[in-house]
Amino acid sequence: MTEIPTIKLNDGNEMPQFGFGVFQIPDHDEAVKTVEMALANGYRLIDTAEAYNNQKAVGEGMKNSGVDRSDIFLTTKLWVSNFSYEKAKTAIDNDLEELGTDYIDLILLHQAYGDVYGAWRAMEEVLCFGWIDTTHKRINGVDMQRFTPRSKRSQWSELNKERCRRLEKLGLMTKAERKELPDMSEDAFKIDPDIKAAFDENLIAWENFQKFPKLYQRVRIDSIQRNKKKDQAVFDKRLKKLIEQSEKNKMFGQWNNYGRLLEY
């Protein structure tokens, strides 16, 4: 497939202009294979929804595809029955679990009906923690974001932490919000021994990797090791790709929010 052009959204993220939707594919196995084939053929935007009843299959197809999660733009939609503040927060948590991912690139309100404002509030709350990368609100011409506590069971990724460092530097963090943060020091980040051992067997890859930006190093390592306990096969596959690309002196995947985390 010819490379698909992207369009820049209001918050700076880029979204493929052409994607693959899974509406009316409720059969689990069929949906899994469909997503695998779509990604194998070059699609990088996958569109699903709570009402499609196939989010688990979409997540499984993404995992089986071998395509790095950071290279996929994933869209889902909140169904109207979840349009309230509390229901939307619960629904988004469930969406993440069904999709088997730590973040969703874009969440849409499937119908503008009912407590749309309450659902929007919930979407704002999860934005800054990296659960949703793309939602946008302007008040009097100023971009607005809210920062509130995330679900206790949700992990902090290195990308999420960097987003919060950016908010701090921009003067958008409050005292109460800082209390919810984990250890934000870069020195607190540790590399899994198995990853370091793999690099020790390929010193060229390690030497190249050490020259890459520190944020890239943390995000790439974190994206591999944070799910090690969940799926060893995925851990091994992602580690293999990291070693291979590092040996070629190549960086890959989205790791800086399309440049927003490079200079702020």
Place of tokens 């909140």: 78
Rounded CA separation 3/21 (Å):
18
Residues 64, 66, 70: CA angle, nearest 5 degrees: 110
Q: What are phi and psi for residue 158, nearest 5 degrees?
A: -65, -30
Tokens of 83: 């349009």
The gap between the terminal CA atoms of the chain, to the nearest Å, is 36
Tokens of 42: 């070059």
Residue 64: strand, helix, or coil: helix
Please confirm, yes or no, whether 52 is among the known catalytic residues.
Answer: yes
Asked if 161 and 131 touch (Cβ cutoff 8 Å), the reply is no
Which H or E element spans position 40? helix 28-40
Tokens of 28: 């689990």
The residue from 43, 52, 85, 103 that is catalytic is 52
- Residues in Cβ contact with 102 at an 8 Å cutoff, skipping those fewer than 6 apart: 96, 130, 131, 154, 155, 157, 226
Q: Which residues are catalytically annotated? A: 52
